[in-house]
């Protein structure tokens, strides 16, 4: 059970960093920033964001305020930021062809774009991405010129494709990627220097290239490194199985039976986790709701609530997928689970955390059709006892609202 907590609903607390020596974003217009960069003999770094963009806020609140960020950026760049939907940002969005957020630009003092990055990262990963764009051979102008001359090697084509992907130039990146694949031999595809072909978004479970990877896993592991390959495979299969468990699989998804078969051949460090996920996905696919309910009942009294969340997800997915559900049977199952779970949280009420209350809220949302007024009253009483004692957090408000709803439903 403990092995599959990693894909359960997680409570992620985000606390703004208090460092006062992060990236120095200056209040300058674009032209003023260019002039200042020229005066200081630096490059211009532009954060292109929008107010509604979550990853933009994460970068601004968690990454850029860090001292290590300031240590890297401030000596190298004049840094500015613009909301792409307001003021001067609207014109800059057109000028630099910005379509994804956040986008980050490294601009030379003559106004040419040296490098373009899209998407958020943790600080270490972001600095690595920016550092790459400071090296001449990785810059967009250099790569465009080299490609136009028809002088790119296979390794350079891969680097060009990765540079275009970073810049969110999807169409051109796909063109270069396909050109590269046509040139690669089977031996090339097993070499470390071409590992990047598998990291392209188009290489998904079930595609010919991914199947080639599976067929040559031993050789590729030897050349690339087992840890790197395993860390690539695990999230791929984790997501595919999790989609089935949550009922979100696509019509063209591989059958669960094939996913399970492939998982059994991987022999990766996270094998036990994927095996347990595959078993649960199989139960969901076969609509074994009684078995899943039994697992929830068995484990709810002895384990952390997070450990039953995946099974609750599977239970919910089955109820969604049933074409002609036996409502009487589902009502009996749901009522039985509610009667089993409520005493558990009553017994440990004094030690409940906001995370546990949040997770239990998901459980009861799944079972809400089977909760009586009297049981809602019991849940409301738990909330009245526990919530006032909890420390303030961004999730406490959600829990308070949820348990207020329980009280209203008890009337």
Is 70 exceeded by the pLDDT of residue 2?
no
Torsion angle defined by CA atoms of residues 312, 307, 254 and 237, in that order, rounded to the nearest 10 degrees: 160
What pLDDT shows up at residue 325?
Answer: 84
What pLDDT shows up at residue 183?
Answer: 96
Q: What is the pLDDT of residues 200-214, one digit of tens each?
A: 999 999 999 999 999
Mean pLDDT of the chain: 92
What pLDDT shows up at residue 251?
Answer: 85
Give me the residue label for tokens 């078969």.
261
Q: Grade residue 12 by pLDDT with cuts at 50, 70 and 90.
A: very low
Beta bridge partners of 116: 105
Give the three-state DSSP class for 166.
helix
Give me the residue label for tokens 């990693």.
6
What pLDDT shows up at residue 371?
Answer: 95
pTM score above 0.85: no
Give me the residue label for tokens 């964001």.
49
Q: Which two structure tokens, joined as six digits, stand for 185? A: 């031999």
Residue 127 or 1, more confident: 127
- Which residue, among 344, 353, 367, has the nearest Cα to 395 in the 3D structure? 353
**% residues pLDDT > 70 (the chain):** 95
In order of 235, 327, 364, the CA distances from 334 in angstroms are: 32, 10, 10
Residue 96 has phi, psi (to 5 degrees) of -105, 10
Q: Which two structure tokens, joined as six digits, stand for 384? A: 């009245």
Give me the residue label for tokens 């949820």.
402
What pLDDT shows up at residue 250?
Answer: 87
- Which residue, among 111, 102, 58, 110, has the nearest Cα to 84 in the 3D structure? 102
∠ CA 344-346-351, rounded to 5°: 95
Sign of CA dihedral 36, 42, 43, 48: negative
- Which residue, among 36, 110, 109, 103, has the nearest Cα to 74 in the 3D structure? 36
Q: Are 192 and 220 in contact (CB under 8 A)?
A: no
What pLDDT shows up at residue 4?
Answer: 56
The region that residue 225 occupies, defined by phi over 0 for left and psi between -120 and 50 for alpha, beta otherwise, is: left
Torsion angle defined by CA atoms of residues 163, 165, 167 and 170, in that order, rounded to the nearest 10 degrees: 130
- Which residue, among 48, 58, 175, has the nearest Cα to 113 in the 3D structure? 48
Q: Grade residue 25 by pLDDT with cuts at 50, 70 and 90.
A: very high
Q: What is the pLDDT of residues 278-319, one digit of tens each?
A: 999 999 999 999 999 999 999 998 778 999 999 999 999 999
> What's the maximum distance between 2 C-alpha atoms anywhere in the chain?
77
Q: What is the pLDDT of residues 90-128, one digit of tens each?
A: 999 999 999 999 999 999 999 999 999 999 999 999 999
- Cβ atoms within 10 A of the Cβ of 308, count? 26
Q: What is the pLDDT of residues 230-288, one digit of tens each?
A: 999 999 999 999 999 999 998 889 999 999 999 999 999 999 999 999 999 999 999 99
What pLDDT shows up at residue 144?
Answer: 93
Beta bridge partners of 25: 79
Q: Which two structure tokens, joined as six digits, stand for 243? A: 């989609």
What pLDDT shows up at residue 19?
Answer: 38
Cα–Cα distance measured from residue 123 to residue 113, given in angstroms and rounded to the nearest whole number: 22
Q: What is the pLDDT of residues 62-100, one digit of tens each?
A: 999 999 999 999 999 999 999 999 999 999 999 999 999
Average pLDDT estimate for 148-154: 92
Q: What is the pLDDT of residues 218-227, one digit of tens each?
A: 999 999 999 9
Is 50 exceeded by the pLDDT of residue 345?
yes
- Which residue, among 171, 164, 166, has the nearest Cα to 119 in the 3D structure? 166
Cα–Cα distance measured from residue 270 to residue 103, given in angstroms and rounded to the nearest whole number: 34
């Amino acid at each position: 059970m403990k092995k599959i907590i990693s894909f359960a609903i997680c409570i992620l607390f985000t606390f703004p960093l208090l460092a006062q020596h992060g990236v120095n974003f200056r209040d300058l217009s674009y032209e003023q920033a260019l002039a200042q960069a020229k005066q200081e003999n630096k490059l211009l770094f532009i954060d292109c964001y929008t107010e509604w963009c979550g990853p933009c806020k994460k970068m601004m609140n968690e990454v850029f305020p860090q001292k290590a960020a300031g240590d890297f950026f401030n000596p190298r760049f004049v840094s500015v930021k613009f909301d792409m939907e307001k003021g001067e940002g609207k014109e800059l969005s057109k000028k630099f062809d910005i379509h994804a957020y956040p986008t980050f630009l490294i601009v030379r003092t003559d106004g040419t774009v040296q490098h373009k990055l899209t998407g958020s990262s943790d600080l270490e990963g972001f600095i690595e991405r920016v550092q790459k764009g400071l090296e001449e051979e990785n810059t967009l102008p250099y790569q465009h010129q080299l490609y136009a001359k028809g002088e790119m090697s296979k390794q350079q084509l891969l680097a060009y494709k990765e540079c275009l992907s970073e810049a969110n130039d999807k169409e051109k990146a796909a063109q270069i990627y396909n050109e590269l694949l046509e040139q690669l031999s089977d031996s090339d595809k097993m070499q470390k220097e071409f590992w990047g072909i598998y990291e392209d978004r188009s290489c998904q479970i079930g595609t010919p290239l991914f199947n080639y990877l599976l067929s040559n896993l031993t050789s590729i592991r030897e050349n690339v490194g087992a840890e790197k390959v395993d860390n690539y495979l695990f999230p791929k299969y984790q997501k595919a199985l999790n989609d089935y468990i949550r009922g979100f699989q696509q019509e063209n998804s591989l059958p669960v039976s094939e996913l399970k078969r492939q998982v059994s051949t991987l022999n990766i460090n996270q094998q036990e986790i994927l095996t347990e996920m595959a078993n649960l996905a199989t139960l969901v696919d076969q609509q074994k709701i009684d078995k899943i309910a039994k697992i929830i009942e068995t484990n709810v009294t002895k384990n952390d609530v997070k450990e039953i969340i995946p099974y609750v997800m599977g239970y919910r997915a089955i109820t969604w997928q049933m074409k002609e559900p036996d409502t009487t049977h589902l009502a009996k199952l749901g009522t039985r689970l509610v009667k089993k779970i409520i005493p558990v949280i009553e017994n440990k009420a004094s030690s409940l955390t906001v995370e546990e209350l949040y997770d239990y809220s998901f459980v009861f949302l799944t079972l809400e059709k089977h909760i009586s007024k009297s049981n809602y009253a019991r849940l409301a009483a738990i909330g009245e006892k526990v919530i006032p004692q909890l420390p303030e957090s961004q999730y406490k408000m959600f829990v308070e609202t949820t348990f207020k709803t329980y009280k209203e439903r008890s009337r």
